[in-house]
Amino acid sequence: MTRFLARRVVFGIIVLWLVATLVFIMYFVAPHDPARLLAGKGATALTLRDVRHRLGLDRPILQQYGSYLWNFLQGNLGYSYFSQEPVTTIIGQDLPVTASVAVGGSVLWLLIGVTSGVLAATRPRSISDRAVTALALFFYSMPTFLLGELFLLLLFFRLHLLGFDFFPGGGYVGLTQDPVQWLRHMILPWFTIALVTASVYSRLTRGSMLDVLGEDYIRTARAKGLRERRVIYRHGLRAALAPVVTQFGIDLGTLLGGIIVTETVFGLPGLGQQIVQAITRQDQPVIIGFVIVASTFIVVANIVVDLLYAVLDPRVRLS
């Protein structure tokens, strides 16, 4: 257990180091001069040298690399070129919005995916199985941003024309400000993220559940006279969830992508919008900080997922 955890942590650190180095190569070794960008078009050679010195760009490349990594280790992500604010402050400000979208979206995503998968697996070849499979394929083919736009067009605007104002047309209200309004503003973004990814999980759960339900211990459970509900959920689903959980770890990167797109569609002032803006402004420290924070989140979440795996399926021994 400890050895397993240690190995995972070491691999996680290697991935993070790889990410940091890749980003460094992309931004500092590539022929690309942030000083020119920062100093503006009309800058004199003197100003340019000054800016370069201030950013430390005139130092040897290895020295730059060292201080770049050292800053990360201290939790210092630098300052925005644009607003001069620390990148950590900017990320901290926008985190609640993104966290609202991410947590609600992924809960809904797993809920829809797993329940529809179980529904399809317990009645194979039935009408509901076929319906779930067809819907899953439909949403699987749907790009996230298109679903969001269609939601806005149909569920917000068309209903609004008909006099029903249940769904707002985007924007964000803080959870602590007004929980009811927060929920109203989050429903469409949550479903946008959830439906597209849930389709994969529905198929995955169905397949895995069909495999598990064919095992001997399920027959034993039935023979003992346990109720069907208990057999399916306590005995079957618990083991069937293992591959689903693994996939969830892999798909966290997809989740982040979905968040960026969803925030853009619904005009939510979160990290996704922040990074799209940072890119149009070429605000390097913000972009780099975002990539590092996102990667750290994914690495940590993957370790948690691996631990969960063992909790769910008692047959798995971590070694």
Partner 1 sequence: MSQGLIAEVGAADATEIVGARAIEGRSPWQLAFDRLRHDRVAIASAVVIALVAMMAIFAPVVAHIVGHPRDAQYHTTGLSPAGIPVGPGRRFLLGADELGRDVLVRVFYGARISLLVGVVASSLATAAGVVIGLVAGYFGRIVDTILSRFMDAVLSLPYLVFAIALVSVLGHPSLIVTIGVISFFSFSAVGRIVRGQVLSLREKEFVEAANALGAGPLRIMFVDILPNVLAPVIVYLTLLIPAAIVFEATLSFLGIGVVPPTPSWGSMLAESLDYYEVAWWFVVFPGLALLITTLSFNLLGDSVRDAFDPRYARLFVTKEPSGRTATTAEAEPA
Binding site for partner 1 (CB under 8 A): 14-15, 18-19, 23, 26-27, 30, 32, 124-125, 129-130, 133, 137-138, 140-146, 149-150, 152-153, 157, 210-211, 213-214, 218, 250, 252-254, 256-257, 260-261, 264-265, 275-276, 279-280, 282, 287-288, 290-291, 294-295, 298-299, 302
The minimum distance between CB 318 and partner 1, in angstroms, equals 18
CA distance 267 to 313: 41
The minimum distance between CB 133 and partner 1, in angstroms, equals 6
Question: Please, where are the H alpha helices in the chain?
Answer: 2-24, 34-39, 45-55, 61-73, 87-122, 127-140, 144-151, 159-161, 179-213, 216-223, 228-230, 238-250, 252-266, 271-280, 284-312
The minimum distance between CB 77 and partner 1, in angstroms, equals 14
CA distance 52 to 55: 5
**One-letter identity of residue 56:** G
Nearer to partner 1, 4 or 27 (CB): 27
Nearer to partner 1, 175 or 269 (CB): 269
Nearer to partner 1, 50 or 222 (CB): 222
The minimum distance between CB 279 and partner 1, in angstroms, equals 4
Q: Is 79 helix (H, G, I), strand (E, B) or coil?
A: strand
Closest CA to 99 of 276, 307, 294, 316: 294
The minimum distance between CB 291 and partner 1, in angstroms, equals 5
